[in-house]
Amino acid sequence: MTPPSATIVALATAPAAGAVGILRLSGPAALEVGRALAPGVPQVPTPRHAYLATFVDAAGGVLDEGLFLYFRAPQSFTGEDVVELQAHGSPRLLRLLLARTLEDARVRPALPGEFTRRAFLNGRIDLTRAEAVADLVAADSEAAVRAAAAGLSGALAERIRALEEPLRALHADLEGVLNFPDEAEGADEDAGPRVAALRSEADALRAEVGRGRLVRQGARVALYGPVNAGKSTLFNRLVGEERALVDAEPGTTRDALEARVEWDGLGVTLYDTAGLREAPGRVEALGIARTRDLLAAVDLAVLVLPPEASVEEAASWMREVGATPVLVVTGKCDAVPATLAGAGGGGTGRAAATASASPVFGTVPATGGPAGPGAPLPPPRPRVSGLTGEGVDALRTSVLTRLWGGGTPSAVALVSERHADALRRTAEALGRAEEASRVSTLEVLSGEVGLALEALGEVSGTSVSEALLDTLFQRFCIGK
Ligand SMILES: Nc1nc2c(ncn2[C@@H]2O[C@H](COP(=O)(O)OP(=O)(O)OP(=O)(O)O)[C@@H](O)[C@H]2O)c(=O)[nH]1
Ligand SMILES: [Mg+2]
């Protein structure tokens, strides 16, 4: 990959009025072109020194006064000569300055992400860091900012390298034995345990992928349960405003409502859904169908039950959501004494909950089905009241704990869908390699290890195609 020779230019600040507007040039002609706009700056300026400069038009007329910074290759963000002009943030002025630089035939406008791309091509940063730059710009919660910053500092790159280097060594050993059996004899002896260790490391990295997505996009959490359980009231309380309609009539909510909140720095999209019941009206049935689709897609479903709901009912409701994890709470807890709420009364049909109870609590596990006499007690359901706010803080904490385990968002290295996919292929290839190390030939084993290495290289950037780079840098803004 030869370094591109065109000098590129772009506004590095948003094209709106602001205190400061920055014009950035990168490439061999950066200094000369930059100095044409700021002729007062010495011919050989000190790198990384801020010069107070006058910016002029082609005829020498003064346009603005600002700062001139020069970064000499390779000690710059892109690894090339870089010049930054910091002018006042007038969009019109900045367009004038930009147009002047483009009059020079050696200069062309930068493509989205091209500065960062050059930094990557010149070996200044690896791909995980380049992508973290885009993540940071796009971050919309504190956790996303912190995670992108962790990516930027190379946290993910470090983890990838720790896997990639031994993997590459193993691949080299195996290929050595295959190609030069005499010289490399015995280098494949411990291939089995080495593959196994690498595989478990790859699996561990993969396990963090889901959390990375939570940081980047925020978590999706839906309230669901029987009609009239108090879901919308609780939703409003969690969101902090009267977003959802609340009424004593069952079936009030039809369309799912969503609201974005930030809890402990983690972005959470919260959904209020149509209460589920059998034999609803036609429109309500449409809402119920949507609720089911949504429940299958969210990261966590919060089941809001009326105080009198039994353990069997809770179990049957939990089965509504498929594989989505469920947190069960007892709503309207202000309406009943603590001893009853959450203790599960009776009733068999889930839509026909009544308080006519049989004392079954504690004998049926949450997974449903009849239990033996020694079955463990299910955990007591947390009690909340959307009306009074009781238990709502605790609910928020439980939701975060369920989403995060005990970890803090900032400790998680950001992993994108692209990384997730590459890591999945790495782990799968290593799984097949492990199998091959037991039952197959050295060729097959080495082939799988090679595939794992290639997939992993897509994360670090050691094996990455131009086409992939194009797609990646598309999502950057111009000037980055
Ligand atoms: N005492 C008490 N009443 C509540 C509480 N939450 C809701 N209610 C009442 O219960 C009724 C239903 O409340 P909603 O919040 O609309 O219940 P929902 O689960 O969204 O109902 P649907 O949308 O019809 O499924 C209303 O009359 C509320 O005032 C609560 O925490 N305590
Ligand atoms: Mg509702």
The DSSP bridge partners found for residue 267 are 262
Instruction: Please indicate if the annotation marks 186 as binding a ligand.
Output: no
For residue 253, which atom of ligand 1 is closest to its CA?
23
Is the per-residue pLDDT at 238 higher than 80? yes
- pTM of the prediction? 0.59
Q: So what's the pLDDT on residue 168? A: 92
| Protein residue closest via CA to atom 14 of ligand 1 | 230
Q: What residues sit around ligand 2, an ion, with C-beta below 5 angstroms?
A: 231-232, 252-253
What mean pLDDT comes out for the span 303-318?
90
| The pair of three-digit structure tokens given for residue 24, joined into one six-digit string | 């950035």
Tell me what the mean pLDDT of segment 197-202 comes to.
92
Q: Is the CB of 351 under 6 A from ligand 1?
A: no
Residue nearest to atom 30 of ligand 1 (CA): 332
What percent of the chain is predicted at pLDDT more than 90? 45
Q: Is 248 annotated as ligand-binding?
A: yes
CA nearest to 21, candidates 63, 73, 62, 71: 63
Q: What's the pLDDT band for 348 if we cut at 50, 70, 90?
A: very low
Q: For residue 275, which atom of ligand 1 is closest to its CA?
A: 25
Q: Could you read off the pLDDT of 118-135 as tens digits, one per residue?
A: 999 998 988 888 888 887
| 406: pLDDT strictly greater than 60 | no
According to the model, what pLDDT value does residue 171 have?
92
In whole angstroms, give the CA distance from residue 411 to residue 413.
7
The sign one gets for the Cα dihedral 134, 135, 139, 142 is negative
Residue 253 Cβ contacting ligand 1 at under 6 Å: yes
3-state secondary structure of 417: helix
Which phi and psi (to 5°) does residue 63 adopt? -105, -40
DSSP string for 294-306? HHHHSSEEEEEE-
- pLDDT reading at 154 higher than 90: no
Burial of 341 (C-beta count, 10 Å sphere; 0-12/13-18/19+): buried
How close is the Cα of 219 to the center of ligand 2, in Å? Answer: 21
Q: At residue 346, does pLDDT exceed 50?
A: no
Inter-helix orientation angle 209-217/142-152, to 10°: 130
pLDDT for position 270:
95
Residue 229 CA: which ligand 1 atom is closest?
19
Q: Is the CB–ligand 1 distance for residue 277 below 6 Å?
A: no
| Cα pseudo-dihedral 26, 30, 31, 34, rounded to 10 | -110
- For the chain, domains (ranges, CATH) are 7-110 (3.30.1360.120), 132-208+415-474 (1.20.120.430), 219-409 (3.40.50.300)
Q: Is the pLDDT of residue 363 over 90?
A: no
Ramachandran area for residue 391 (φ above 0: left; ψ -120 to 50: alpha; else beta) = left
Is 228 among the annotated ligand-binding positions? yes
Contact 392, 168 (CB under 8 A): no
165 is in an annotated binding site: no
